[in-house]
């Protein structure tokens, strides 16, 4: 028996086994929860980073390249904002797009403002609605640049803001990037020249000048074509800024008589981005002549495809002398089998001309007409298949009928409205709406359509 301070016996305290188990279980659960909290939350203690990726970029002047703005180790991100600055004499931003990271949390609002004069872009993005933030790592945005000239620039990532769903700031660090732009790779075809005529079976020389306009010595191929067929290919090596003249030989044996487009192409060198000047077309076509007498009609083009009955129509006909003699001959234009007009033509060897014929449609029946032309056979001419040329059709109809349906109605008014105020140089020019062939769709044409509205061709 244990005696207390006052001499009274103390009662023995007994803990039942079941209560003991419950006590220690509770203690263990508390410890696990506490222990778990300690190990679940250390990720919050890691400072998030916002960085330019890759941190170092090398590009050639004249080349486009892209960098990402990436985030790492963030917890509960709801919105973000940053500014990215650069040397505006070296770089231009050409495009800014949202990355995929914040989209994981739902719909987003993304906006950006680019100032290439001062050299910066302001970009921000936020989730929409009452949704939790996004945690982890990923890409916030991608910025595409164009390198203007060689040099170096810091990609300065500043004024970065991260917030959670409670609009509380998220502490973080920001890491800049660097870009180095070097000389560009750039070769070009400067000029191409050749004779304008060659007798079938003979050879001509085509002179091509190429230049290295970049900042590296280059080796590349130069290929010359007639139409899309290769004539010859040569290899060339040029130092920085150097140019050279190349001579190519075109043997026309086995080539048909006709007109051929001559072009030259410099192959694209590795790293080259400005390739528009790698190809050049000769100013003049080369005509391959046949030995002897040979004339032809090369083209027939009406000034419009729909003409009001009683109004004139211009028809442009191109004739050419493919022979080796000067020729004088007649060219006749037709609507179906009816002669429109005949004109006399004199052409030296290899020359061509375009003649304007006028078809007066007064008294002509409404309907579709096939337009063609014929060149008379000259003495000694043996190949005559190309003396005749037929091209398309023209509708003769009531004045004011723009679409050739045979009736003036709403559709015609709409077409005239689309072309109103236009001239042949305008992108919306419609010659069929220029009823009086004045060279402009104007009030006069609108009035003509109004007077004939609802009429049909009969």
Residue ranges making up the domain that contains 415:
295-451
From 289, 315, 336, the end of a domain falls on 289
Contact 60, 182 (CB under 8 A): yes
Shared domain for 276 and 360, answered yes or no, is no
316 with 264, same domain?
no
pLDDT of res. 62: 82
> Same structural domain for residues 392 and 355?
yes
Taking a C-beta distance cutoff of 8 angstroms, is the pair 343, 328 a contact? Answer: no
Residue 10 lies in a domain: no
d(CA 187, CA 214): 7
Cα 54 from Cα 178, distance rounded (Å): 9
301 shares its domain with 222: no
Burial class (CB in 10 A: 0-12, 13-18, 19+), 126: middle
What's the pLDDT tens digit per position in 193-219? Answer: 999 999 999 999 999 999 999 989 999
Does one domain contain both 198 and 167? Answer: no
pLDDT digits 0-9 by tens, 246-265: 999 999 999 999 999 999 99
Ranges of beta strands (E only) in 78-176 are: 79-85, 91-98, 108-115, 120-127, 134-147, 151-163, 173-175
**How far is Cα of residue 182 from the mean position of the Cα atoms in its chain?**
26
- Check whether residue 149 and residue 127 sit in a common domain: yes
Phi, psi of 32 (to 5 degrees): -65, -45
Q: Are residues 121 and 204 in the same domain?
A: no
Cis omega (within 30 of 0) on the bond before 54?
yes
CA–CA separation, 289 and 322 (whole Å): 5
Q: Which residues pair with 329 in a beta bridge?
A: 345
In a domain, residue 274? The reply is yes
The dihedrals phi and psi of 367, each to the nearest 5 degrees, come to 150, -175
Co-location of 231 and 267 in the same domain = yes
pLDDT in tens, 378-387: 999 999 999 9
pLDDT confidence bin for 354, thresholds 50/70/90: very high
Phi-psi region at 22: left, alpha or beta (left = phi > 0; alpha = psi -120 to 50): alpha
On whether residue 9 sits in a domain, the answer given is: no
Neighbours of 375 (CB within 10 A): 26
Q: Which segments of 336-415 are extended strands (E)?
A: 338-347, 352-360, 367-375, 388-397
The predicted structure's pLDDT at residue 197:
96
According to DSSP, the β-strands at 262-266 and 49-53 are unpaired
Residue 65 maps to which CATH number?
2.60.40.680
The answer on 235 and 153 residing in a single domain is: no
Question: How many folded domains does the chain comprise?
Answer: 3
pLDDT tops 70 at residue 237: yes
Which among 161, 182, 203 is the end of a domain? 182
Region 226-250 average pLDDT:
97
16 part of a folded domain: no
Q: Quick check: is 54 in a domain?
A: yes
Sheet holding 312-321: strands in order across? 295-302, 312-321, 352-360
Both 141 and 80 in a single domain? yes
Q: Are residues 352 and 435 in the same domain?
A: yes
CA distance 432 to 417: 12
What is the mean pLDDT of the segment spanning 449-454? 96
Domain boundary, last residue among 133, 163, 182: 182
Q: For residue range 28-73, list pLDDT tens digits in order.
A: 333 333 333 333 334 456 999 999 999 999 888 888 999 999 999 9
Q: How confident is the model over 347-361, as a mean pLDDT? A: 97
3-state DSSP of 428-452: CCCHHHCCCCCCCCCHHHHHHHHHC
Q: Report in angstroms the alpha-carbon separations of 366 from 95, 160, 300, 455.
A: 56, 74, 21, 13
Express each pLDDT in 370-408 by its tens digit.
999 999 999 999 999 999 999 879 999 999 999 999 999
Question: Residue 2's pLDDT is what?
Answer: 35
CA distance 377 to 12: 140
Confidence of residue 182 (pLDDT cuts 50, 70, 90): confident
**Non-local CB neighbours of 423 within 8 Å, separated by 6+ positions:** 429, 439, 440
CA distance 67 to 53: 6
Q: Are 444 and 451 in contact (CB under 8 A)?
A: no
Is this prediction's pTM over 0.75?
Answer: no
Q: Residue 274: which CATH number? A: 2.60.40.10
Residues shown for the chain? 458
The answer to whether residues 197 and 157 belong to one domain is no
Confidence category of residue 300, pLDDT binned at 50, 70, 90: very high
Inside any domain, residue 56? yes
**Share above pLDDT 90 across residues of the chain, in percent, rounded to a whole number:** 84
């Amino acid at each position: 028996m244990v005696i207390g301070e006052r001499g009274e016996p103390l009662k023995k305290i007994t803990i039942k086994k079941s209560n003991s188990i419950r006590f220690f279980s509770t203690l263990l659960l508390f410890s696990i929860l506490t222990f778990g909290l300690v190990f679940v939350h250390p990720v919050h203690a890691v400072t998030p980073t916002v960085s330019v990726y890759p941190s170092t970029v090398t590009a050639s002047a004249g080349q486009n390249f892209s960098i990402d703005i990436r985030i790492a180790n963030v917890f509960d991100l709801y919105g973000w904002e940053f500014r990215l600055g650069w040397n505006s004499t070296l770089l231009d931003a050409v495009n800014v797009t949202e990355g995929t990271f914040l989209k994981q949390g739902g719909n987003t609002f993304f906006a950006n403002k680019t100032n290439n004069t001062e050299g910066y872009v302001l970009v921000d993005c936020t989730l929409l609605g009452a949704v939790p933030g996004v945690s982890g790592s990923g890409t916030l945005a991608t910025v595409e640049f164009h390198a203007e000239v060689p040099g170096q620039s810091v990609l300065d990532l500043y004024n970065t803001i991260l917030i959670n769903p409670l609009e509380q700031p998220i502490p973080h660090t920001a890491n800049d990037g660097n870009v180095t732009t070097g000389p560009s790779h750039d070769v070009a075809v400067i000029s191409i020249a050749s004779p304008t005529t060659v007798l079938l079976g003979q050879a001509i020389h085509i002179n091509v000048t190429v230049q290295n306009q970049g900042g590296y010595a280059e080796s590349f191929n130069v290929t010359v074509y007639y139409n899309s067929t290769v004539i010859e290919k040569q290899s060339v090596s040029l130092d920085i800024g150097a140019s050279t003249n190349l001579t190519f030989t075109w043997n026309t044996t086995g080539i048909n008589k006709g007109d051929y487009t001559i072009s030259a192409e410099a192959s694209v060198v590795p790293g080259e981005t400005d390739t528009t000047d790698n190809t050049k077309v000769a100013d003049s076509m080369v005509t391959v002549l046949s030995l002897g007498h040979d004339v032809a009609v090369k083209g027939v083009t009406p000034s419009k495809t729909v003409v009001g009955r009683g109004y004139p129509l211009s028809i442009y006909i191109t004739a050419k002398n493919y022979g080796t003699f000067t020729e004088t001959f007649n060219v006749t234009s037709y609507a179906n089998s009816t002669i429109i007009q005949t004109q006399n033509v004199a052409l030296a060897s290899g020359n061509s001309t375009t003649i304007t014929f006028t078809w007066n449609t007064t008294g002509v029946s409404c309907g579709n007409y096939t337009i063609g032309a014929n060149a008379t056979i000259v003495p000694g001419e043996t190949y005559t298949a190309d003396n005749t040329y037929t091209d398309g059709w023209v509708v003769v109809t009531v004045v004011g009928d723009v679409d050739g349906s045979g009736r003036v109605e709403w559709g015609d008014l709409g077409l005239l409205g689309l072309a109103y105020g236009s001239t042949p140089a305008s992108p919306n020019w419609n010659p069929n709406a220029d009823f009086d062939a004045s060279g402009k769709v104007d009030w006069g044409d609108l009035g003509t359509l109004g007077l004939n509205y609802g009429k049909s061709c009969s």
